[in-house]
Amino acid sequence: MPRCAAGSEEADCFTANQIAALERIYGDVISNGKRFFPGWPVGAEIAGTNGQSGWLGQAVNAPNGTGAWTSYGFNFQRYMVPWVKSASGEMDAARAFSQFDIDKDPPRLEELRRILDATDADLSAFRKHGGKLLMYFGWADPQLNAKMGVEYYEQVVDKMGPSVTFRWLRRQLRLRRPHSHLYLFPRFYRGQDRRTVPFHRQWSARMRTVIASRGI
């Protein structure tokens, strides 16, 4: 990565502050000296067919509004985090983020984590019920960190064993694919027998539908 000379800022080089910002984004989130969350994979920053970086309106603000990272993080805090909801005075994103302590505050959110986080690698009950799980991530998705899916898949394999897991759990990673969706398709779901579930339009034609074996 070309570095700009001290005191200069050119289009073909990076300043020390810019490099430090990239290291924060691509590097793991550390809490109390331990890895807390994976850093973002390289890929989303590449300019798309419209000539604009995938970070525009996501990791960084767009000309017409706040980026998704800022919006998601701030809205979660002001509606879900008790001490932010009850804070006196005007609360904005800058204040909320500046007051969040990555070393002290995560344990205070343990109840929310238990409610919201789908991180349990023991899916034995789901498998015994006949469930099928398909996970799909875009490696260049600037909203859902694809490493979450990779690491969760590996945790399930470690917990359940590869010979068992590979029969009912599949993952798909699409390189340079922007924001998509995570689909969970259990074998049984509410609906009529052999009901067709349409896929998102980005999926290939050969995986356009999933047929349920029966409804409940």
Rounded average pLDDT over 127-145: 82
Check residue 183 and give its pLDDT.
42
pLDDT level of residue 166 (50, 70, 90 thresholds):
low
Rounded average pLDDT over 178-189: 43
Indicate the pTM of the whole model: 0.71
Sequence spans of domains, the chain? 1-39, 48-116, 124-215
Rounded-to-integer distance, Cα 49 and Cα 42, Å: 18
More confident of the two residues 92 and 187 = 92
Rounded average pLDDT over 109-126: 90
Rounded average pLDDT over 169-181: 57
Report residue 200 as tokens: 């998102």
Residue 37's beta-bridge partner residues? 29
Query: What average pLDDT does the chain have?
Result: 79
